[in-house]
Structures are given as C-alpha cells and as structure tokens.
C-alpha cells in the first residue's frame, strides 16, 4: 500500500493519494481548495495515474477542487449521496462569514458539478486502483459524512476518517446541516467498533490509531460512555 498526502487551502485540509505502489493507478481523496496546484507535482513525483476522486463529505475544504481534478483527468468523483448538493451549493453547509472567501476563490457561491459524479450509498464498496474502498456512513458533521476504509495485507485496516474523528478530537456539529445527536450515534456505532489496529488518516492534522483514540480522545470517550450509562 502506498499513501501520499499534502495540505490544501486556508482550512489546512489533507488531500490523500491512495495506490498499491508508486508508479500505479491511484485514488485522490478529498482534493480541497487549491489542491490542483499541488496534485500534478505529487502525481509526477510518485509516478501515479489518477483513476477516481473519492470524497469523505461535501464541505468545500474537502471538495473545492473535485470538479477541476475530475474533469481534468476525465475520472469519476465518488460523493456521499446525502452531500451531493454541496458540490454546487457550498454555502448550504457554511456560515455566512465564509461567503466572501468562496466568492473570492470561485467568483460565485453557486458552483458547477463535476462531469461524472457517482452517488455513494451508505456502507457501499467501490473498487478503483485495485483498492476496495468501503464508505462507512458516519453522519453528524454533515448528513453524508463518511469514512473510507481499506484493508492492506501489510498494514491492516486503514481508515480515511475525514472530519468524523481526528487525533484527540472530533468533527464540529455547530455548522449548518450538522447534527450532534447523529454524531454521537456515529461515534458509538461506527467509530468505536473499529479494531484497535486501525490506522486513522484524518481530514485535518496528523495520523493516529484507533487504539490511541480509544484511550486519549476525550470527545470519543465521553460520547461512548454516555451511551452506556
């Protein structure tokens, strides 16, 4: 398994490249605002060929370059079904303070969809770049928020956790479209059951493991503890 990453935009979101090995096909995960500026060099450095874009959710800091990347390379954009509307209407999930930034970057707050969008159903599997991508539906941060799970023979389970869970924290639930009750259920029903050996690659910040978060993530532990008492 080969994974490369770089940080995009003012919100410092992680964009990941997933491949079996350097010099092979890859999946681009969460190409956020301005990602196209760095993607070409990363692909060239690692001799990768993009065959799909995969999105963990619809927030603009994770999908801001999805159309540009998808259309430039002629590849499908896999988007959680319940977040598809955010590809064209980013303000539906943002506070008004973000409007000037969106208008500055895109010239409008109404965007155009990628040419090819694949609606991702909850807990569905999709195969690209010789990888089996399982979309674990974990709403709360957004209605379609998902984590992308893979299993590698060498490294074991790997989860691109998007904005569901970070090292020491969880995704915000105070934004338009967010739901704290849904987030609590996602943490207890989807995140908590993950195996301790699971490597978590979040949408922001550095990597962690499920074993570490089970011990040290106060938000995860508080939510799960309250569900059982």
- 202-215 per-position pLDDT tens digit: 999 999 999 999 99
Tally of helices (H runs) and strands (E runs) in the chain: 7, 14
Residue 116 burial by CB count (10 A; 0-12/13-18/19+): exposed, middle or buried? Answer: middle
Per residue in 23-82, pLDDT (tens digit) is 999 999 999 999 999 999 999 999 999 999 999 999 999 999 999 999 999 999 999 999
pLDDT of residue 227: 58
Among 63, 60, 64, 54, residue whose Cα is nearest residue 29: 54
Residue 20: Cβ within 10 Å count = 14
Whether the Cβ atoms of residue 49 and residue 25 lie closer than 8 Å to each other: yes
Rounded to whole angstroms, the Cα distance separating 191 from 98 reads: 29
Per residue in 104-160, pLDDT (tens digit) is 889 888 899 999 999 999 999 999 999 999 999 999 999 999 999 999 999 999 999
Domain that holds residue 179: 2-227
Q: Please give the tally of structural domains in the chain.
A: 1
| CATH number for position 181 | 3.60.15.10
pLDDT of residue 228: 45
Whether the Cβ atoms of residue 117 and residue 87 lie closer than 8 Å to each other: yes
Rounded to whole angstroms, the Cα distance separating 89 from 83 reads: 10
Give the mean pLDDT of the chain. Answer: 95
């Amino acid at each position: 398994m080969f994974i490369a990453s770089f940080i995009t935009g003012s919100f410092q979101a992680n964009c990941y490249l997933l491949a079996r090995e350097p010099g092979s096909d890859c999946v681009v995960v969460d190409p956020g605002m301005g990602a196209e500026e760095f993607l070409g060099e990363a692909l060239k450095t690692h001799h990768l060929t993009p065959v799909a874009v995969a999105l963990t959710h619809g927030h603009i800091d994770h999908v801001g370059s999805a159309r540009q990347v998808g259309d430039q390379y002629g590849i499908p954009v896999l988007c959680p079904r319940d977040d598809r509307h955010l590809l064209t209407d980013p303000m539906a999930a943002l506070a008004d303070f973000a409007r000037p930034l969106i208008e500055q970057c895109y010239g409008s707050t109404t965007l155009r969809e990628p040419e090819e969008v694949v609606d991702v159903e909850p807990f569905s599997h999709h195969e690209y770049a010789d990888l089996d991508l399982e979309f674990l539906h974990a709403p709360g941060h957004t209605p379609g928020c998902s984590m992308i799970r893979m299993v590698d023979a060498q490294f074991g389970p790997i989860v691109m956790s998007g904005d569901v869970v970070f090292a020491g924290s969880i995704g915000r639930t105070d934004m338009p479209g967010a739901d704290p009750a849904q987030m609590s259920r996602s943490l207890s029903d989807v995140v908590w059951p993950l195996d301790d050996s699971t490597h978590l690659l979040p949408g922001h910040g550095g990597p962690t493991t499920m074993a570490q978060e089970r011990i040290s993530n106060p938000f995860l532990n508080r939510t799960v503890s309250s569900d059982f008492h």
